[in-house]
Amino acid sequence: MFRKSKTAAPAELFVVPRLVDVDADYARLAELRSKLLDEQAAKKAEKGSVEDEIVAAPAPVRRVSAAVAAVLGDDVDDGPVVLRNRLAEINARLRVIEDALAELDKRITDAKGRASRAVCAQVRDEYARRVAEICAALVEAEKANDAYMDLIDELEAEDVSWTSLTPMQPSMLGSRRYGETRVPAYLREAAAAGYWNEAVR
C-alpha cells in the first residue's frame, strides 16, 4: 500500500517589490507613458471618426474658392474645411506623441535598470535562500540516484532482466555511472554566485 505524502506547509508569502515602488523616477515615467498611450488611442479613434465624416460629406457644388464665395455672398459650407483642419491637428498631435513615446522608452530603459537593481538588492536574501534549497534538494536527489543505480548494478550483476520493473532513471540528473552527472556543475555555479557552500556537501 502506498503511503500518502504529507501535504507541505505553505511557504511564507514573499512579495517581489514593484519597479514603480522602488524608484520614483521610473514610476513617473511609467505613468506618463500610460497617459500618452491612452491619448494616442483616443486620438487615433477621433482621427478615424473625422476621416469617416470627410468621406461622407457631400462634395461642394461650386467653381470658386470658399474665400471668393464669401466675398460674392454665396452660401459657404465650411464643414469640410473645418474637418480637414481638425484632421491636420490630430495628425500633428499624433506625431508629437509618437516622438515623445520613442524618447520616453529610452528614458524608461535607463530608469528600469536602476529600479531593477534596487529590487534585486531587496530580494537577494530570499533568492539566495531558494537557490540553496534547490542545491540541498539536488544533493539528496543525487544520493538517491546513486543508491538507485547501485541497485541496478546489483540486478545486472546477477543477470536479472529487470525492465519489467519499469526503468526509472532520473535522466535530468545524469549519472555517475556514465560520468555525466549534472548536479556538481549546478552546485559549482551556485557556489560561484555565493548561494551555496560546497563544503556542506
Q: Which position has the higher pLDDT, 118 or 83?
A: 118
What's the confidence (pLDDT) of residue 201? 61
> What is the average pLDDT score of the chain?
87
Residues 6+ apart with CB under 8 A from 70: 76
Q: What is the mean predicted confidence (pLDDT) over 63-75? A: 67
Kindly report, residue by residue over 126-145, the tens digit of the pLDDT.
999 999 999 999 999 999 99
What's the confidence (pLDDT) of residue 71? 76
Q: What is the mean predicted confidence (pLDDT) over 193-201? A: 82
Domain boundaries, the chain: 19-200
2 — pLDDT class (breaks 50, 70, 90)? very low
pTM given for the model: 0.68
80 — pLDDT class (breaks 50, 70, 90)? confident
Q: How far from the centroid of its chain's Cα atoms is residue 109's Cα? A: 14
Q: Which position has the higher pLDDT, 177 or 38?
A: 38
Kindly report, residue by residue over 25-50, the tens digit of the pLDDT.
999 999 999 999 999 999 999 999 99
Read off φ and ψ for residue 94, nearest 5 degrees: -65, -35
Do residues 93 and 43 make contact, with C-beta atoms less than 8 angstroms apart? Answer: yes
Read off φ and ψ for residue 117, nearest 5 degrees: -65, -35
Q: What whole-number distance in Å separates Cα of residue 66 and Cα of residue 122?
A: 68
Q: What whole-number distance in Å separates Cα of residue 145 and Cα of residue 184?
A: 13
